[in-house]
Amino acid sequence: MTDLPASHNLPDLAPAARDWLDTTSARIAADPTAVRTAFPAAARRGGRAAADRVRAALLLALPLRGPALAAEVTTLYRHGDAAEQRAVLHALPLLDAADPDFADRALPLTLEALRSNDTTLVEAALGPYGARHLDAASFRQAVLKCVFCEIPLDRISGLADRTDPELTRMLTDFARERTAAGRPVPADITGLVAETDETTQRSTRISEGAA
């Protein structure tokens, strides 16, 4: 995808990690199956702090497009641990931008992550790729799951653009149910809720005060 070394966008990598990334990326470009052993090793060879970015660089080194790229990414996700799965999800918008034929082919992974009980995967699934490719119903359900799981809504990409009357209604119903049960309404949904009664407003103020 580029003639520059794979590490050129990661200037904070240690020299040994940069050398490993460049060498490994060249090997992946020549043999795509090499990514299957390199991907799990990224945290050890590149450092845990940079592991997601190193793994993204490895995926971008794949000489695959469209269905073949999506199939390889899916294999890595399905056989990876939570950290590797999160890295795949974070890399999806980069792959989408680099390969027009990639498009929504990784959407099944996004939906799978949204069904997970791992909140880091749910949050990663709602990055730019999910915001672009999730249909309206799936996006609304994902936002509600974030509310239930106490994932801050400001971490959801494209929320302002994708909020529609139906999502507002769903969040309003949620707020009313919480109020009726004597429980506080999460403060970060106030801008998305159609507050029509003083009880809901009072519950929101209680929540904000508790924070």
For the stretch 188-199, pLDDT in tens is 888 888 654 444
pLDDT exceeds 80 at position 204: no
Q: Which of 80, 13, 98 is nearest to 89 (CA)?
A: 80
Report domain extents, the chain.
6-160, 163-211
The CA-based angle 55-46-109, given to 5 degrees, is 20
Q: Residue 102 pLDDT more than 80?
A: yes
Q: Are 62 and 94 in contact (CB under 8 A)?
A: no
Render pLDDT for 20-33 as a digit per residue (tens, 0 to 9). Answer: 999 999 999 999 99
Q: What is the pTM of this model?
A: 0.87
- CA-CA distance, 194 to 33, in Å (whole number)? 51
